[in-house]
């Protein structure tokens, strides 16, 4: 916009005046950028832009057998390789993990590749706590409300642990273990031999066909449409192990306590907590078939608005820990300007708080509002 303004000037500017003007404009742009960034100071780890994946339409459903070499999969792009759950703050994972996805009117298809020279598993009963083994995990929030989401875990035995969360643990949520992903197809294939420390494996692959019916609350099946956006993330739990008497044993510290697991994810959370749906990646549905050119994902304007709501939410949680109540105004949160420009649109945030509960909203000149409450629930 500024450059167009400069180019459109109808009078001649001397070289020195042009340099001065350019520097002034550059300063304003940098100042505005830094001013916006200053609002998020201290919370930068929670405002990195999540990953995104444009999921192609499946011209033919893959066979769910754990072998991810179907032609439709070969035409489907891989995601970026997984990172530590905290992002750049921690070293990169020492084993590669990546996923790819497809969809049709019935299923979301997922293929995952987990490199590992020593594949092992112990848990074989449905809904055992599978992440006590090395595992692969899927988190899905179809409505992008940060509530009412689904989690599915699988280990190298193809044993499933799935659950439903009405709201995250941070808001007092409790996992509904009795929920099952009805109609889901799933398979695992080990490239090597499981539970055999005497050889070197390549890793293991996972395939899932998750019915949209199973990801639906209510009677109307939530089938995505072209260009719909869901929130999704993937996690790999990897335990440090030693080989003791021909078996894999979790490594312990000097006090005899099992070392914490590694958490490697597709889209970094910024903290060691997968149950922050607002930090998950974006799944962009495309009706273009696998192998065809796909549209480019653009972060929706409403997602940029939500960042300011989440900033207030995080500040409120910190304020409550320090003062045993929520702040009742922006001054207490050290936010002196409740108005922001987002994509050249003026936005205003409003806060309503009793000290025990709060609701924050954001709106632009259109008057449309997005709300977020103390439980982290997004509504429109």
What's the mean pLDDT in 191-202? 97
Instruction: Enter the DSSP assignment of 215.
Output: G
Q: What is the secondary structure of 163-185 as a DSSP string?
A: EEESS-GGGT--EETT---TT-E
Residue 213's beta-bridge partner residues? none
The candidate with the shortest Cα–Cα distance to 82, out of 237, 202, 295, 310, is 237
Beta strands at 369-373 and 358-363: parallel, antiparallel or unpaired:
antiparallel
Is 13 in a helix, a strand, or coil?
Answer: coil
DSSP H stretches of helix in the chain: 2-7, 15-39, 71-74, 301-323
In this prediction, residue 28 carries a pLDDT of 33
Per-residue confidence at 10, pLDDT binned at 50, 70, 90?
very low
pLDDT tens readout for residues 168-185: 999 999 999 999 999 999
pLDDT, the chain, mean: 91
Contacts of 11 (CB under 8 A, 6+ apart): none
The candidate with the shortest Cα–Cα distance to 102, out of 65, 134, 43, 59, is 59
Residue 150's beta-bridge partner residues? 140, 164
Instruction: Enter the DSSP assignment of 322.
Output: H
Residue 103 has pLDDT above 70, yes or no: yes
Q: Is 324 exposed, middle or buried (0-12, 13-18, 19+ CB in 10 A)?
A: exposed
Q: Is 54 exposed, middle or buried (0-12, 13-18, 19+ CB in 10 A)?
A: middle
In this prediction, residue 338 carries a pLDDT of 87
Residues 62 and 72: beta-carbon distance below 8 Å:
yes
Beta strands at 339-342 and 281-289: parallel, antiparallel or unpaired:
unpaired
Residue 55 has pLDDT above 80, yes or no: yes
The candidate with the shortest Cα–Cα distance to 375, out of 244, 275, 285, 229, is 275
Residue 328 has pLDDT above 60, yes or no: yes
Q: Is 58 exposed, middle or buried (0-12, 13-18, 19+ CB in 10 A)?
A: buried
In this prediction, residue 37 carries a pLDDT of 54
Is 315 in a helix, a strand, or coil?
Answer: helix
The candidate with the shortest Cα–Cα distance to 108, out of 64, 168, 155, is 64
pLDDT tens readout for residues 206-221: 999 999 999 999 889 9
Contacts of 14 (CB under 8 A, 6+ apart): none
Alpha-carbon distance of 176 to 259, in angstroms, equals 28
In this prediction, residue 7 carries a pLDDT of 34
In this prediction, residue 141 carries a pLDDT of 98
In this prediction, residue 145 carries a pLDDT of 98
Residue 35 has pLDDT above 60, yes or no: no
In this prediction, residue 336 carries a pLDDT of 78
pLDDT over 90 percentage in the chain? 87
Residue 77 has pLDDT above 90, yes or no: yes
Kindly report the pTM of this predicted structure.
0.89
User: Residue 205 has which token pair?
Assistant: 């692959």
């Amino acid at each position: 916009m500024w450059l167009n303004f400069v180019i459109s000037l109808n009078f001649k500017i001397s070289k020195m005046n042009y340099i001065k003007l350019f520097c002034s404009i550059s300063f304003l742009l940098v100042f505005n950028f830094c001013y916006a960034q200053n609002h998020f100071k201290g919370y930068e780890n929670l405002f990195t832009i999540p990953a995104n994946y444009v999921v192609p339409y499946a011209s033919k459903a893959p066979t769910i057998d754990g072998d991810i070499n179907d032609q439709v999969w070969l035409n489907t792009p891989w995601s970026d390789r997984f990172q530590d759950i905290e992002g750049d703050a921690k070293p990169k994972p020492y084993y590669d993990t990546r996923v790819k996805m497809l969809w049709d009117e019935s299923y979301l298809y997922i293929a995952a590749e987990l490199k590992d020279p020593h594949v092992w598993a112990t848990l074989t009963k449905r809904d055992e706590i599978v992440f006590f083994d090395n595992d692969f995990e899927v988190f899905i929030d179809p409505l992008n409300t940060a509530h009412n989401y689904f989690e599915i875990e699988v280990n190298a035995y193809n044993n499933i642990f799935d659950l439903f969360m009405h709201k995250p643990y941070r808001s007092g949520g409790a996992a509904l273990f009795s929920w099952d992903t009805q109609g889901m197809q799933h398979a695992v294939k080990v490239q090597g031999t499981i539970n055999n420390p005497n050889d070197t494996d390549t890793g293991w692959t996972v395939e899932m066909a998750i019915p949209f019916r199973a990801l639906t609350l209510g009677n109307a099946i939530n089938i995505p449409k072209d260009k719909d956006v869901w929130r999704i993330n993937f996690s790999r739990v990897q335990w440090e192990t030693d080989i003791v008497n021909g078996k894999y044993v979790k490594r312990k510290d000097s006090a005899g306590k099992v070392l914490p697991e590694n958490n490697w994810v597709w889209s970094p959370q910024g903290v060691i907590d997968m149950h922050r749906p607002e930090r998950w990646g974006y799944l962009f549905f495309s009706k273009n078939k696998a192998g065809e050119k796909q549209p480019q994902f653009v972060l929706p304007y409403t997602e940029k608005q939500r960042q300011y709501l989440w900033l207030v939410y995080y500040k409120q949680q910190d304020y409550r820990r320090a003062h045993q109540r929520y702040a009742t105004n922006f001054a207490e949160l050290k936010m002196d300007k409740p108005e922001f420009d987002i994509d050249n649109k003026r936005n205003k945030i409003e806060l309503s708080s009793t000290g025990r509960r709060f609701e924050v909203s954001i709106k632009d000149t259109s008057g449309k509002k997005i709300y977020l409450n103390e439980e982290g629930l997004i509504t429109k």
